[in-house]
Structure formats: structure tokens, C-alpha cells
Structure 1
Amino acid sequence: MKMEQENQNLQEEAVETETSETAQAQDNAAAPDERTREELIAEVARLTAEAEDYKTRYLRAQADFDNFRRRSRQEKDEFAAYANVKLIEELLPVLDTFEMAMKSTAETDVKTLLTGIEMVYRQLTGALEKEGLTAIEAVGQPFDPNLHEGIMQVASDEHPANTVVQELRKGYKVKDKVVRPSMVQVSQ
């Protein structure tokens, strides 16, 4: 009972405090501003100038961002257009060797032609290896679906199950990214 009385007293005090604060706020709102008309005009002018400054800064930042985005897109397009120039420069000697081989086919024997083709192959693989291309080792390795494309399974007594038995098409990767998986036969 005593506890209920104390709670009721506290509630009454809170209501009185709230009522007096509300009345005081209304009195303050109704009281005329003590500043003069000139001071109010100066305050409005200052706030207007400040708002204009913020607007100007915002518009400049937006324009800078639009210019940055446009420049970035142009640089990206330019990079994409000329990204392969280094590789093309590496492949030009291979193209030259092919042209020489094609010009001399009527006059040369098969052995010389084969030697020329081997030279072109070495130049081509050398140029691609400089760019980071490596062949994926497949035969005798455990089948890995990230590196190998299994197209058939064969019975094999020589190899354990899920081992690459034969490579039908070589696979390649550049650094750690698979460019083309090896096409393989896998043991059962």
C-alpha cells in the first residue's frame, strides 16, 4: 500500500513537471524575438550565403565525380583497346616465320618444312609462356574437374580409379586461372 502511494505521488509530480515545462515552452514561443529587424535580416542573409556556398560545393563535387567517372571509363576503354599490344608484338616473329615457310613450300622438301613448323611452334609457345601461359599436366594425375574436362571413362588395370589415363586436348592456364581445361579420359 505504501509503495502504491509513493508511485502515485511520483506520477503526480511527473505530470506537474511536464505541465509546467509545456507552459514555459509556450510562453517562450509566444514571446517576441528580442532581435531587431536588421539583425534578423542579417541572419537570413548569412544563412542564405551559407546555403549557396554548400550548394556550390555540392555542385563542384558532383562535377568532379562525373569527370572522374568519365576519365576512368576512357582509361578503361583505352587500356582494353591496347591491352594485347605486348602479346601481338611477341607473336609478330611467329607470323614472319610462317610467311617464310609458306613462300618456300614449293621449293623445299618435307624434312625442311617440318623443321620450319617446329621452329614456329617453339616461337609461339615461347611467346605465350612469356605472357604466363602454362600447360596443365594431365596424364597420371588425379582427375580434377577444375583442371580437366572428363569426356569418357575407361577401364584401366594400370591406373587407380579417377586418374587421367589419356589427354585428348591439352589444357592451359595463365598464372592460376584456367583458360581451357584439358579434355581427358579417366580411369574407372
Structure 2
Amino acid sequence: MPATSTVVISRRSFFGKKDEEEKKAEKKEQTEGETEQLNITLEEAIEQINSLESQLSEAKAAREKEEKDFKYRLSEIAQEMKSQKTRLDREAEKAKVYGIKSFAKDLLPVADQLQLALENVPAAELEENKALNDLKEGIEMTQQQISKAFEKNQIILVNPEIGAEFDANLHEAVMRVPRAQMPDNEPNTIAFVQKTGYNIKDQVLRPCWVGVVSE
């Protein structure tokens, strides 16, 4: 009986060790499987992260392009509005000048007549003739009012000095004076002023009528 009992214990020990080894093997296989699955999961996660980063980069680039295009369009609109405003201001200024120019041309003969009247008032009779003196003062006051109106609208009197150089842009030659008659004057200079001229801003309203010294 004792011998038989010993054999039974030994078989149990043998089978017990075998079970433990199988369990260890199964556990090892399970661990290796879990590790392999974990590696696959990490690779998939990295791939997804890379994909998301790529999508984010593309979205950022697209947004930057949209912002750049939007700013460029805004710049174009601002430039177009500025150009349009400049053009409208220029057209308004032209219309204003045209209106003033048309009105001023109607007043020039009046200014000429006033100037002519003052030049022809006999100075010797002014002290003795009070009526004539009052008339002269009235003409001077009217001339001053017209001059102020011209100045307000940037209408400038052109009355060159004798001997000044002739300028075809501002003057109109109505007569040629031989230099022999005016030896002290250089050729192509003004010999006399027949009628004063007027400019409005950078435009000639009426050229000044002058005589020019010839060769």
C-alpha cells in the first residue's frame, strides 16, 4: 500500500507540471498576440495621426490662400474706388471750371470797358469836376468788385511788362514791331500790350494781345 500511494503522487506531480507548462505556453501565446495586436493598433494610430496632420496642413494652406485672395480682392476694390473718386473729382472740377470759364468770358468785356474808361479819364479835370471824380471812383469800385470775384474763382490777370519774353502759350501776337523802332529791346520780346489776358487756374481764359519785337 505505501508503494502504490507514492506512484499516485508522482503521476499527479507530473500532470500538474504539465498543466503549468501548458498554461505558461498559452499565456505566452496570449501575451504575444496581445503585443502583436498592440503593435498593429499603434501603427494604425500613427497612420491616422499622419493623415490628420496632412489634412490639417492642407486645410491651413487652403485657408491662407483664401485669406490672401480676399486681401488682394479688397486691395483691388480699394484701389478701384480710389481711382473712381479721383476721376469723379476731376470731372467735377472740370465741370466747375467750365461753368466759371463760361461766366468769366461774359464778364471780360465789362472788365475791359472799365479799364478803358479809367485810362481815358482826363486827370486834369478830376480836381475841378466833382461829378467826373465821383464817376471815376464809382468805376474803380466796380472794377475792384470784379477783380475780387475773379480772384475768388482763381481767374488771374495776365499783363506782361514791356520787354518780357513772348510766350505763345499765354500771349497772342497781333503785330510785329521792327527792332529798328525799339533798339533797346531784344527780338521776340513784348513791345506793347494791346489787351490784357486772363488765366483760370492752369488754363488760358483769354490770351494777352501784344506786339512783338521782330528781328
TM-score by length of 1: 0.43
Hey, which of these two has a bigger chunk of helix by percent? 2
Query: Larger Rg: 1 or 2?
Result: 2
